Structure 1
């Protein structure tokens, strides 16, 4: 397992012109067998949304998938839910 604990990422995308209010959350959790699970939650803000759990053999593999998904969502216009406006 990696030595550092990865903090969950909470993203949102709000566009009033398109009536769009979405959230996307990513986190990595250790499994009982030495691997790691990437947990994704997404949906419309104000709803429960959906959850997907993807399990990896190593924490490094889960971290790589985490980083890929986070980059992808930020390119699509998502920004930090608790940090103000998107950085440009």
Structure 2
């Protein structure tokens, strides 16, 4: 069972470049007791891609989750709401400057 709830939904919108993208990250438990980082991406309003990466521990998954969140922040993605994460959680603050 997961100790922490990690979910993040962010967007990058640039009307001058006709860009409207979304990126979603979450950590989900697997059937075998591992943790998977699941990411979804694409154009807002369209079906996009999805990728899952499995880690032996939730800590390894959390480190990878936060690294992906930092990379997206550097590219200009901004969080949309808090996705149910408490305001002081690591997942919520990962994309804060």
For normalisation by structure 2, the TM-score amounts to 0.79
Cα RMSD, aligned residues only = 1.9
2:66 and 2:96 map into 1 onto residues whose CA distance is 17
1:64 and 1:37 map into 2 onto residues whose CA distance is 12
Q: Which residue of 2 aligns with 1:63?
A: 62
**May I ask how many residue pairs the two structures share in their alignment?**
85
Q: Which ranges in structure 1 are unaligned for 5 or more consecutive residues?
A: none
- Aligned to 1:27, the other structure's residue is in SS state strand
Is the CA contact (8 Å cut-off) linking 2:24 and 2:40 kept in structure 1? yes
Any stretches of 5+ residues in structure 2 without a counterpart? Answer: 83-94
